[in-house]
Homo-oligomer: A and B are copies of this chain.
Amino acid sequence: MQLHVNVRATRLNPDRLFGQVAHRLAVAIITGASPTGALLPNEDDLKDEISVSRTAYREAVKFLSGKGLVEARPKSGTRVAPREAWNLLDPDVLAWHFAADPNEKFIRDLFELRLFVEPSAARLAAQRRSDADLKRIEAAFRGMVENPPYAEPTVNADLAFHEAIFAATRNPPLQCLAPAVSATIQWSLFLKAPDDQFFFTASLIDHERVFDAIVQRDSDLAAARMSSLVIDSLNSTLGLLAARAQAGAAKSA
């Protein structure tokens, strides 16, 4: 069975010019290089900066404004919107964060959200899953087992596993949170220590236990086990963040 991945992947087409411009602007905003309230380069000036036509630039801005990153007000200029206005759960916005340094608070917040949502999703999945859902979840799990730890197919299988559970909830708005879950998983990978065999094996077991509970249609068990999975994942990620912070401190000293 084919793995379902990235149904709700990023919408920005990097092949297109406006997409590259949008990416540049977005990263500058998210890293804080363009602080809140800063005027974006004037639509005429930007020709000199990145030799691109006003059209492409404006379409990039429209794309970003839809996600709340910028606010274009006629005559006064296009400004970076305050962070409270950003749609942090948008797949593109989540993805752009990977171009910035890891923000521990943000990652913790995402895990916190995940801890609220994903156990409930697992509960619903246990109640509502069809056989097709089950196959899809199982295929994803096997993808995690059969590939080398932390390799790309393994990570994709991990993402597919969680996506499949969301899909089994039959709740489309809830499924829109899958990208946020994916982001935390990708952060773990991004931060991964070279050979973390222990955490990987533990993670596999966590996943298997969730899967079994869903097979058995035991909703409370599924929720509880998903909680454990998320907490284990959080702890592992926090460990990696701490290690990274230590390494950074050592280097700068």
- B-contacting residues of A (Cβ < 8 Å)? 7-8, 11-12, 16, 18, 55, 58-59, 62-68, 71, 74, 83-92, 106, 109-110, 112-113, 116-117, 120-121, 124, 171-177, 180
Contacts and interface: CB of A to CB of B under 8 A. Distances in A.
A92 B117 contact: no
28 contacts: A7-B85, A8-B68, A8-B85, A11-B65, A11-B71, A16-B74, A55-B55, A59-B62, A62-B62, A62-B66, A63-B65, A64-B66, A66-B90, A84-B172, A87-B176, A89-B89, A89-B173, A89-B176, A106-B172, A109-B173, A109-B174, A110-B173, A112-B171, A113-B173, A116-B117, A116-B120, A116-B174, A117-B117
Contacts of A67: 11, 66
A90 B66 CA distance: 9
A62 B87 CA distance: 16
B173 A84 contact: no
A119 to B, nearest CB: 9
Contacts of A92: 66
Q: Is the interface of A mostly helix, strand, loop or mixed?
A: helix
A106 B66 CA distance: 22
Of the listed residues A58, A83, A113, A117, the one surrounded by the most CB atoms of chain B closer than 10 A to its CB is A113
Contact of A174 (B8, B85, B113, B174): B113
